[in-house]
Chains A and B, each alone.
Chain A
Amino acid sequence: MTMQREVLTGKHLMQGDVACAEGAIAAGCRFFAGYPITPATEIAERMSRRMVEVGGIYVQMEDELASMAAVIGASWAGAKAMTATSGPGFSLMQENIGLAAMTETPCVVVNIMRGAPSTGQPTEPGQQDVMQAQWGSHGDYGVIAFAPSSVQEMFDLTIECFNMAETYRVPTFLLADGFIGHLWERVIIPPPEEIKIVERKKPTVPPEKYVPFRPDDDLVPPMANFGDGYKVHVTGLTHDEHGYPRTDDPKVQFELVQRLCEKIRKNADKIVKTEEFMLEDADVAVIAYGIASRASISAVRKAREAGVKAGLLRLVTVWPFPEKTVAELANRVKAIVVPEMNYGQIVREVERAAKETPVYFLPKLGGEPHKPSEIFEVLRRAEKT
Chain B
Amino acid sequence: MTVTQEFEAHHPLAKYLRTERFPHIWCEGCGNGIILGCFVRALDELKIDMDKLVVVSGIGCIGRAAGYVRCDSFHTTHGRPIALATGIRLANPKLTIAVISGDGDLFAIGGNHFIHAARRNIDMTVICSNNFNYGMTGGQLGPTTPLLSYTTTSPYGNIEHPFNLVHLAAAAGAVYVARWTALHVQRLTESIKKALQKKGFKFIEVVSPCPEIYGRRNKFGKAIDMMRWLKDVSEIRHGYDPSEAEITRERIVVGEFVDIEKPTYEELLQKQFFKIQEKLKGG
Contact = CB atoms under 8 A, between A and B. Distances in A.
Interface string A220-238: 0000011111111111110
Ranked nearest first, the 7 interchain pairs of A and B with the lowest CB-CB distance are A73-B87, A70-B87, A69-B83, A77-B91, A66-B83, A74-B91, A74-B87
B77 A236 contact: yes
A128 B72 CA distance: 39
B276 A69 contact: no
Given A74-B88, A77-B95, A226-B92, A66 B113 contact: yes
A66 B67 contact: no
A33 interface: yes
B245 interface: no
A152 B71 CA distance: 43
A261 interface: no
Interface string B81-97: 00111111111101100
Contact of A73 (B71, B79, B88, B277): B88
Interface stretch (B4-12, B47-55, B185-193): B47-55
B86 A52 contact: no
Contacts of B1: none
A232 to B, nearest CB: 6
A308 interface: no
Interface in B63-115: 66-67, 70-77, 79-80, 83-92, 94-95, 112-113
Contacts of A79: 91-92
Contacts of B72: 76, 226-227, 230-233
Contact of A234 (B74, B79, B83, B112): B74
Interface of A: 1, 4-5, 30-31, 33, 52-53, 55, 57, 59, 61-63, 65-67, 69-79, 81, 95-96, 98-99, 225-237, 244-245
B222 interface: no
Interface centre among A53, A98, A227, A236 (most CB of B within 10 A): A227
B12 to A, nearest CB: 19
Contacts of B276: 52-53
B262 interface: no
14 contacts: A31-B91, A62-B112, A70-B83, A72-B76, A73-B74, A73-B83, A73-B88, A75-B91, A77-B88, A79-B92, A98-B77, A226-B92, A233-B72, A235-B75
Contacts of B116: 61-62, 66
Given A227-B72, A234-B73, 6 more contacts: A69-B87, A70-B83, A73-B89, A76-B74, A231-B71, A244-B67
Interface centre among B18, B87, B95 (most CB of A within 10 A): B87
Contacts of A61: 83, 86, 116
Interface of B: 18, 21, 50-52, 54, 56, 66-67, 70-77, 79-80, 83-92, 94-95, 112-113, 116, 269, 272-273, 276-277, 280-281
B67 A81 contact: no
A238 B116 CA distance: 30
A315 B71 CA distance: 44
B280 A31 contact: no
B51 A231 contact: yes
Contact of B90 (A1, A59, A227, A233): A59
A52 B90 CA distance: 13
Given A5-B280, A231-B51, A96 B77 contact: yes
Nearest to A1: B277
A53 B274 CA distance: 9
A59 B277 CA distance: 18
B70 A66 contact: no
B107 to A, nearest CB: 15
A173 to B, nearest CB: 19
A229 B51 contact: yes
A95 B227 CA distance: 38
A73 B89 CA distance: 8
A376 B276 CA distance: 53
Nearest to B272: A52
A72 B87 contact: yes
A291 B95 CA distance: 44
